[in-house]
Amino acid sequence: MITWKRDGEEMQENVDVGETLPNEDGTFQNRVVLTVSDQDLKEHQYTCEVAHQSGETIILDETEIKCSNPNSVPLGPIIGVAVALIVLIAIVAGFVVMKNKKKDGFTGVKSKLRKAPRPQVKERKAPNCWK
């Protein structure tokens, strides 16, 4: 049996008792969820008591209880999507820049140097005073 307590008193309100589910190893699990406000968490002490068939009772305090806020937004997926978008934008921008450079005739520094016309040297006649 699983019991939620606030300041040592058993709670019945805002307690959601789930069904008993089997585990792969032949044991079973129960889930009992208590919903409380952030303000109540600050003002009261909550414990969860688990009474096992063997007669053993386990008391979990606030440091051992998993808390989740249904209104909170997980940051991991948001950061992952943001990084993926930045990478996608960088790839698209690089593709557009390369396509525009090729369209304008840019083929790279080395090939431009090879294709550049050689300067023509005009022959000059020596001035008459040198003769």
Residue 73 or 25, more confident: 25
Query: Residue 131 corresponds to which amino acid?
Result: K
Q: CA torsion, points 96, 102, 105, 106, in degrees to nearest 10? A: 90
Are 34 and 15 within 8 A, CB to CB?
yes
User: Which tens digits make up the pLDDT trace of 79-130?
Assistant: 889 999 999 999 999 888 888 777 666 555 555 455 556 666 666 665 555 5
Q: In the beta sheet, which residues pair with residue 51? A: 57
Are 60 and 52 within 8 A, CB to CB?
no
Interatomic CA distance for residues 50 and 32, integer angstroms:
10
